[in-house]
Amino acid sequence: MTTESRGTPGHHVTFARFLWRAAGNATDGSWLFYAWMFGLTAVALVGLNAWARQMAGGMAVTGMSDHVSWGLYVANFTFLVGLAAGGVMMVIPAYLYRDREMHEVVIIGELLAVAAIVMALLFVNVDIGRLDRMWHLAPGLGQLNWPMSMLTWDILVLSTYLLLSLYISGYLIYMRFLGREPNPRHYVPFVLVSIVWAISIHTVTAFLYCGIGGRTFWNSALMAPRFLASAFVAGPAFVVLSLQVVRRLELFDVPEAAIETLLKIMRVTVVVNLFLLFCELFTHFYTGGHHSEAVSYLFFGAHGHSELVPWIWTAVALNTAAAAVLLGRPLADNRVLLNAALVATFVGIWIEKGMGLIIPGFVPSTLAEIVPYTPSLPEWKITAGIWAFGLMIFTVAVKLALHSMSGELRLAELAPKPDADTKEAA
């Protein structure tokens, strides 16, 4: 039976109403919601102001140079691509293994992918220096060196994954708004494609680095597996923390089995991530030679320079401690310790795939010179602003999804009406 035959307007009307209701729902909430969004907005505006100053003063306001041309921005880009790919760890149990509990909350993983890809693209935007250069990255507008350029492949897979995630999450929320069960034929094929695409986005990003022959620190066949392993730790860690916040605020009845499934995944991936790091270190330090200079600088410093040493050892300590908590079941049963471990591994992987990956690729330089890099204050402000903006997107998107699932965001014609007895009692 069609929508019109049931007395409900067509999609051209209902979708407009959906957008209107969604806009109102996104800006309405408790004092805690307003305080959270106010804080994020303030940080985002500080970042926007710093970016405007960078646009006016040029890239000289950053700590980057001719020797270190990628810094904090590309470090965050790399991490966020992994965070987006990590959301697939909810999709696989929900759709391939038909995990019903995970199916209830899988949309949070899709929305995390949307927010993470938007942030990743914003970091690319601030890293290229000028806004007018962005059109060169647009397929069909810019002159992309395809298929030889790995950067072109990265742009294509990221843009496609963003569109897939937007369609899947948007379709599911819209169907809930209409009070209908989503038609599997309209979204499951896209979900299956997104699983492969999630793996591809981080694989292509890894190939972007290890394909640069002049940077020996990145010339490793383990780059792509390491990227995926760390992504499948950071993504579930963020989702588990988000699910616990949703449960604490009583926004949705989060199944405990869904959280436990993600923790089981992390107990494997956190060990694999550390094992692959050990394999890399063994190869570099045991064989020695010119190719190990960047790793030596990263872990122990060189020629009086040790700027990255505290960063990388902090990352190793955080990831190791998190693995100990996750693998030790009595420790993981303590929610305080568990949440601390989730935050620790999230921060640890952010450091490992950021400052511990990007900067050593440039220091020492190809001329064996050590030109240290330290992020400037404008870089930190812009980074914080982009993260705040991304968290705003994620917060609003999850809010809309949860309200559609609970029935609060529903087409007016389908809203429950009081029966006769209720009216008389009133």
Which residue, among 363, 324, 356, 355, has the nearest Cα to 340 in the 3D structure? 324
The confidence score (pLDDT) of residue 4 equals: 44
Q: Both tokens of residue 154?
A: 């990265």
Residue 416 lies in a domain: no
> How far is 87 from 192, CA to CA, in rounded Å?
13
Residue 370 lies in a domain: yes
Q: Both tokens of residue 113?
A: 């992918």
Q: Are 327 and 271 in contact (CB under 8 A)?
A: yes
Query: Mean of the per-residue pLDDT values for the chain?
Result: 85
Task: Tell me the CATH number at 41.
Answer: 1.20.1630.10
- Number of folded domains that form the chain: 1
Domain hosting residue 381, numbered range = 29-411
Residue 60 lies in a domain: yes
pLDDT digit string (tens) for the chain, length 426 residues: 444 445 556 766 787 888 888 888 888 888 899 999 999 999 999 999 999 999 988 888 998 988 888 889 999 999 999 999 887 878 887 777 777 778 778 888 889 999 999 999 999 889 988 777 777 777 667 677 776 777 888 888 888 999 999 999 888 888 888 888 888 888 889 988 988 888 888 899 988 888 887 788 888 888 899 999 999 999 999 999 999 988 888 777 888 888 888 999 999 999 999 999 999 889 888 887 777 888 888 898 888 888 889 999 999 999 999 999 999 878 778 889 999 999 999 999 999 988 888 888 888 877 777 888 889 999 999 999 999 999 999 999 999 888 887 777 777 655 554 444 433 433
Residue 20 lies in a domain: no
Residue 426 lies in a domain: no
Residue 417 lies in a domain: no
Query: Beta-carbon neighbour count of residue 111 at 10 Å?
Result: 28
Q: Are 87 and 239 in contact (CB under 8 A)?
A: yes
Q: Both tokens of residue 419?
A: 């029966």
Residue 138 lies in a domain: yes
Residue 22 lies in a domain: no
Which residue, among 83, 41, 30, has the nearest Cα to 241 in the 3D structure? 83
